[in-house]
Amino acid sequence: MSDSISRESLISNSTNKSNIGKYIVVVLFPLFVVWVFSAKIMRNNLWATDDFIFINDIHIDYLYDPHAPSSTLCRNSTNHSYTKKYARYGCDSSLFLYESMLKYIKSSLRKPFMIVFGGDSISYWNFLNSSQLQNHFRWVMDSLGQLYSNTPVIPVLGNNEFIPNYGNYESDRDNFRNIAGSLSNILSNDELSTFNIGGYYFRDFKERNLRIIVLNSIAMIKDRNYNVSITDPHGQLEWFEKQCENGSNLGLNIGVVMHIPTGVTFWQGPKVWHSRFSDKFNSIVSKYEISFILSAHSHTDLLLPVFNNNNSWSHISLVSPSLSPSHNNNPGFRLYKMKNGKIIDYTQYIADISRVNQEIKWEIEYSFRSAYQVDDLAFPNIGKAINMLKAKRHEMFKYLQRVMAGVPNDDSYFYCLLSANNQTEYSKCQSMMYRSFNDVY
């Protein structure tokens, strides 16, 4: 009897264990499959992160000659003792430089949710006609769009997307329509409708609580053929305010991207916005809660204050270094990190081209949070970073090296830029720097 019971118990226990095993397999195997599939997707960059890539001022020079010195803009070959296949300080980008950046991004960075192109796709010295420029811009947009599947490219007009350079009010519409001809698969019909009018548009990323407003800052610069009858070029500022108001009412964070920022961006005769337009822009930025302002054009890494009508900061524009090393800077680009529609950090990537006859190597230069000891890139924290630079000379020296993406540079311009409240004070500061540099600090 006991033997029978033992056998039945054994059989029962064995059956129960078998059922438990089947249950485990039925429940856990699908989870395992999902985990494996998810890991594979992650590896293949098919899931977008909350990051976005910002690339600007690539200035591709189809006539770049690796044997030519910078004194000829790298155009005319000489008997140089060394060649620079990728890039040379003082010259615009070769195709090899641009392609090396694309290759690095695709192989090293996870899929972003968007790629922003900050403007200036062609070399200043490549004189293309409108058809050639359209084809070139289309090729650049396609090359960026092919980096990742289904990742939108957000193009911004730079001054070199105009014919002639920086354009004029009479030929603007022709320029807008010409570039729009290369954007039919990039922008929606609604976006193209305002782009054709004034080179501006917006896009919502509602799942990220974000509205990106793309402005045409080229129409705002002071050395265009301005006259007093032009109060709002192409109705852009009125449109900008409406989009800020509408986005805010929808509960979206507002991000602004443009090519030329307001303020002083060059130390040689700056091409800045006309005061009539910059005052209105600053007023709008002061009125609405703008999450971030990103710009380009200077080829340098800048923290550029946006001043309101009371000459106090209303915001800080984050200016990215260029791919082109024509301003004696190292090539660079940025990866911005976001959370809930706000930028929490960025990582700056550079390629040190000072090394002769070596393959180009892309590397991290710095991250903002680590370098400036802040929690995120909210406006008050960027202000804290600037105040730290002004207060600590050794931090200013670190900043100066970042300005040129790793190439050392004189700091008088940058000290005055961060210290002055307006252009008059900036000029006065510049005149003092060489007489009493230590006293200013």
In tens, the pLDDT along 279-331 reads: 899 999 989 989 999 999 999 898 888 876 676 777 889 999 999 999 989 99
CA 385 to CA 371: how far, in whole Å?
9
DSSP, collapsed to helix, strand or coil, labels residue 357 as coil
- State the residue for tokens 């054009």: 297
- Which amino acid, 332? G
39/138: higher pLDDT? 138
Q: What is the pLDDT of residue 435?
A: 36
Contact 161, 119 (CB under 8 A): yes
Q: Which tokens sit at 358? A: 């070596």
CA distance 1 to 98: 86
Q: Any idea of the CA torsion for 426, 431, 432, 434, to the nearest 10 degrees?
A: 120
DSSP annotation of 234: G
Strands (E), 48-140: 51-55, 114-117
Q: How many C-beta atoms surround the C-beta of residue 119 within 10 A?
A: 27
Integer Cα distance of 385 and 365 in angstroms: 17
- Domain range summary for the chain, segments of one domain joined by +: 1-44, 46-392
| Nearest CA-CA partner of 56 in 270, 408, 300 | 300
Distance between CA atoms of residues 204 and 214, nearest Å:
11
Residue 40 burial (C-beta neighbours within 10 Å; 0-12, 13-18, 19+): exposed
Structure tokens at 307: 């001043």
Report for 35-39, 62-66, 81-85, 203-207: range of highest mean pLDDT: 203-207
How is residue 195 written in tokens? Answer: 């782009």
Question: Is the distance from CB of 101 to CB of 322 less than 8 angstroms?
Answer: no
* Contact residues for 434 (Cβ-Cβ < 8 A; gap 6+): 412
Task: List the structure tokens of 330.
Answer: 């190292």
77: left (phi over 0), alpha (psi -120 to 50) or beta: beta
CATH architecture type of domain 46-392: 4-Layer Sandwich (3.60)
Predicted confidence at residue 316, as pLDDT, reads: 87
> What does the pLDDT look like over 144-186, one tens digit per residue?
999 999 999 999 999 999 999 999 999 999 999 999 999 999 9
Helix residue spans in 181-274 (DSSP H)? 189-198, 236-249
What confidence tens digit (pLDDT) does each residue in 226-253 have? 777 889 999 999 999 999 999 999 999 9
CB 153 within 8 A of CB 52: no
Confidence category of residue 77, pLDDT binned at 50, 70, 90: confident
| DSSP code string of 117-173 | E-S--B-TT----HHHHHHHHHHHHHHHHTSSTT--EEE---GGGSSSTT--TTTHH
Instruction: Work out the average pLDDT over 378-399.
Output: 86
The mean pLDDT of the chain is 84
Residue 40 has pLDDT above 60, yes or no: no
Separation between Cα atoms, residue 166 and residue 277, nearest integer Å = 16
The confidence score (pLDDT) of residue 267 equals 56
Nearest-angstrom CA–CA distance, 115 and 393: 35
**Segment holding 332, helix H or strand E:** strand 332-339
Relative to beta strand 332-339, strand 51-55 is antiparallel
232 Cβ contact partners less than 8 Å away, ≥ 6 residues apart: 238, 277, 280
Residue 60 has pLDDT above 80, yes or no: yes
In the chain, helix, strand, coil percent, each to 5?
40, 15, 40
pLDDT reported for residue 271: 63
Q: CA angle, 333 as apex, 328 and 335 as ends, to 5°?
A: 155
406 close to 365: Cβ distance less than 8 angstroms: yes
Mean pLDDT comparison of 223-227, 368-372, 412-416, 432-436, highest-scoring range: 368-372
* CB-neighbour burial class of residue 183 (10 A; exposed 0-12, middle 13-18, buried 19+): buried
Q: Where are the alpha helices (DSSP H) in 201-344?
A: 236-249, 275-287
pTM, entire model: 0.82
Query: What Cα–Cα distance (Å) separates residue 390 from each residue in 143, 204, 269?
Result: 41, 37, 24
Band of pLDDT at residue 70, cut at 50, 70 and 90: confident
Host H or E run for residue 347: strand 342-351
